[in-house]
A and B are shown apart, each in its own frame.
Chain A
Amino acid sequence: MRFSTKNLGSVEGDLATGLPEIPVDGLTLTFKIRPEAKWQNKAPVNGRAVTAEDVKMSFDRIKDPATVSPRAGNFGAIDSVTVIDAQTVQFKLKTPQADLMAAMSDQYNFIIPKEIASRGPDAIKTAADVIGSGPYELVEFVAAQKSALKRRADGYWRQNTSWLDGAEYIHQTDPQQALNALRANQTDVIGTTADLAKTIENDKNFVITKAPTTTRECLLINHGKDRYKDPRVRLALQRAINRKQVYDTVFGGVGWVGGPMTPAAPVWVLPDAELAKLPGFGKREDEIKGAKALLAAAGLANGFEETVITVTAFDTEKIHDVVVSNLKDIGVTVKTENVGTDFAANFLPREVGRQYDLATTLFLSGGYPDAQLLLYHHSDTKTKGTRNYGDYSLAGLDAKLEKQSTIYDEKTRLALVQEIQRDIINAPGPIWFGSRGVLTVWASRVKNPASFPFAAGYYGSENIWLKA
């Protein structure tokens, strides 16, 4: 499966011929594998057809505790994978999981040949072990230096696509030098920063594309603190945040304002017109006025003082500066506690341990409802392993989160997913800001350039060609 590039947030068949057959109980998913799909012509598979056995072995390897795969949790609902015939594979689930196909489409999830998968945890150690069924072969990989791909000589099943003969990736972490290399015609495409993109935005030699990421910036509320048990105080904070200012000042305008679902998955988000009418997304002066009224109603007409933790990593400290200024506008005086530069070691444990009142933070997860809504808002952190680090709960929300998770029909599910977003915005919750974006600069000789939120494998470049 893969994410659609036309309908961002949806999935479509890739190695599979399409979406699986799903019975009414939603517990048995049957996938048909494309018969024309073949592995690349490298030992030990030597260009043989992709089979259901490969799919089974790939998932069995991920789920094997010995592999310690970070993706195992995404497939916890899979009870067993059965080969029906060479081109048919069946997944039996413990509970229905509508996002299973999205998890399968994740950029880090691959189907690999059974000969490689059977090697266990250390299956892939060198470039020679990387054998795919896509249009390009990995021919060289030097960690943190370079990698090279070339188009497979034996042809790719998808016709009229993947026009490039090959591609070379050079690891250059200095964005200015990357831009220099682009100007000097030593590369055709670079990732860049908003500041640098501005220096070339009117240059006809380059084309700039951008897309939101699935990272969401957030003001996390500790609901265990007495003050935040009052929904009016939380809603006041929700209304105080000037989301546009966050993305304009910190990310040079390369960011998308949004609610609890990332704007990187437009299929699932609330329509802009509706979002603009919800608290926190309206005109600034109205929001400030509304927030102050809420605080007054909660007996905090003079505002209050609060310690907010943050971290110097991933621009969080810059976002925090905007948060401090925004909260000041409604009378909340912030005392900043910056825990340092190590997000995972020093900041995350504070969140997980509920050792904070408010936290300016960010979360990165997949761009689908379970990963965005259920994972961060379901109150059962222990048995479901959710990341609801603020112990947020809302009457009826858990049931809605669980129900949407089981609805395979996208349209039916969308209505519930949008209802959940409204609930969270009206009674926050973590206070979500939206998602920062990525910028890509292309040499003008590159045709059909595009950026996608889900950078997944080759298909971001499948329509690209170079003008001689």
Chain B
Amino acid sequence: MYQFVLRRAVLSIPTLIIVSFLIFGMIRLNPDSVVAARLGEGYTPEQAELIKDEYGLNNPIATEYVAWLGRVVRGDWGESAYTSKSVLSEMGPKIGVTLELAFLAIVFAVIVGVPVGVYSAMRQDRWPDYVLRSFAIFGLSVPGFLIATVVLALLAKQFQWIPPIRYHGLIDDPLKNLQQMWMPAVIVSLATSAQVMRFARTMMLDVLRQDYIRTAWSKGLRERAIITQHALKNAMLPVITVIGLTLATLIGGTVTFEQIFGIPGLGRHLILAVAQKDFAVVQGVALFFSIAVVTVNLIVDVSYTVLDPRART
């Protein structure tokens, strides 16, 4: 088991190196942007050279990348050009906000997606199945940001109500925090719910066709007992994988929603940093998202093998 975990962790390293090199390299595709962001209008070539030297833009990219990676590993992710604070210290409180939103979205997705998927499978090719599948296709096909925009505009116009726009931290004021977070979490979770629902339905149908389920029916067991005691566990194993992988996507996918709902998470931080051309912050947040995705994938792989030892090979 430990060997498996170690092997998977080691295999993640090349992925991280490639991604971090891409992040580092892309920022340097246009060094003039870095200079212009720092100096604004009307700078001299000499001033530009000073800035390029400061950021190492005149050095070979490989040398600079190795030096940057070394600093990152030591916990020095650079300094924001906008606030002069360390990138990590600025990201710290925002990571929790984004994780909270992603976690809430996953909770909603599971609460809705799994039971609906199971029920849909139990009523295969009957009207409840058609209706629920239609909703799932809607959730998958309509972009979440569009749903958020329309829902908020309608609520504001018709009921003069929207979730609070002043952010309160989860620890500072849990109630007010949830008042603000529940709606974006629900909307973020729509596509994920649909994905989970469709996957749960497919898995459940697959399991329901197995011989041991047929045996259970022939024994005269009730539907509830067959579903909960025999089918659900086997059907849910692949669903857990999907949920885990979706969590990785959600962490990076909350960017638009944080912007719309005014939630001060990492996504909003990234958008502002891009607008302000705060390159150290853009690098840092992008790198964090990459590490988060790779880590979640690793955790999913490991948890899958815990649940199903056959997957360890």
Contacts and interface: CB of A to CB of B under 8 A. Distances in A.
A348 B41 contact: yes
Nearest to A363: B41
B113 interface: no
Contacts of A184: 155-156, 160-162
Contacts of B156: 179-181, 183-184
A285 B92 CA distance: 62
Interface string B15-45: 0000000000000001011011100111000
A385 B42 contact: yes
Given A70-B40, A145-B167, A177-B165, A346 B30 contact: yes
A149 to B, nearest CB: 15
A177 B262 contact: yes
Interface string A58-71: 00000000000010
Interface string B252-292: 00000001111010001101100000000000000000000
Nearest to B82: A143
Nearest to B85: A143
B36 A348 contact: yes
A180 B153 contact: yes
Contacts of A174: 259-260, 262
> In the complex, which range does the number of interface residues on chain A fall in?
20 to 34
Contacts of B41: 344, 348, 387
B166 interface: yes
Contacts of B262: 170-172, 174, 177
Nearest to A168: B166
Contact of B261 (A145, A177, A385): A177
Interface residues of B, number: 34
Contacts of B84: 125
A352 B40 CA distance: 13
A144 interface: yes
Interface in A180-196: 180-181, 183-187
A146 B260 contact: no
Nearest to A180: B156
B36 A170 contact: no
Contacts of A352: 42
Interface in B141-186: 149, 152-153, 155-157, 160-162, 164-167
B28 to A, nearest CB: 13
B159 to A, nearest CB: 8
Given A180-B156, A185-B160, A172 B165 contact: yes
A177 B41 CA distance: 32
Contact of A186 (B35, B165, B272): B165
B42 A387 contact: yes
A197 B83 CA distance: 33
B30 A145 contact: no
B32 A349 contact: yes
Contact of A345 (B33, B162, B268): B33
A180 B83 contact: no
Interface in B217-245: none
Contacts of B157: 183
A173 B259 contact: yes
B33 A176 contact: no
Contacts of A171: 262
B164 A186 contact: yes
Given A345-B33, A348-B41, A170 B166 contact: yes
Contacts of B35: 345
B32 A345 contact: yes
Given A170-B166, A185-B160, A344-B37, A177 B260 contact: yes
Contacts of A315: none
A342 interface: yes
B259 A180 contact: no
A345 B36 contact: yes
Interface string A142-185: 11111000000000000000000000101111101101110111
A156 B260 CA distance: 38
A101 B262 CA distance: 39
Contacts of B161: 184
A145 B32 contact: no
Contacts of B261: 177
A352 B164 CA distance: 46
Name which of A344, A349, A352 has the most chain B CB atoms within 10 A of its CB: A344
A168 B162 CA distance: 18
A50 B30 CA distance: 47
A314 to B, nearest CB: 12
Contact of A344 (B40, B155, B268): B40
A369 B155 CA distance: 48
Contacts of A185: 160
A187 B35 CA distance: 38
Contact of B149 (A70, A143, A176, A348): A176
Contacts of B149: 176
Nearest to A184: B162
Nearest to B31: A345
Contact of B36 (A125, A145, A177, A344): A344
Nearest to A344: B36
Contacts of B167: 145-146
Nearest to B148: A177
Given A174-B259, A186-B165, A342 B36 contact: yes
A375 B208 CA distance: 79
Interface string A91-130: 0000000000000000000000000000000000100000
Contacts of A168: 166
Interface of B: 30, 32-33, 35-37, 40-42, 82-84, 149, 152-153, 155-157, 160-162, 164-167, 259-262, 264, 268-269, 271-272
16 contacts: A170-B262, A173-B259, A174-B259, A176-B149, A177-B261, A180-B155, A181-B156, A183-B156, A184-B160, A186-B162, A342-B32, A344-B33, A344-B36, A345-B36, A352-B42, A385-B42
Given A171-B262, A174-B259, A180-B153, 20 more contacts: A144-B272, A145-B264, A146-B166, A172-B262, A173-B259, A173-B271, A176-B153, A177-B152, A179-B156, A181-B162, A183-B157, A183-B162, A184-B160, A184-B162, A185-B160, A344-B36, A345-B37, A348-B41, A349-B32, A352-B42
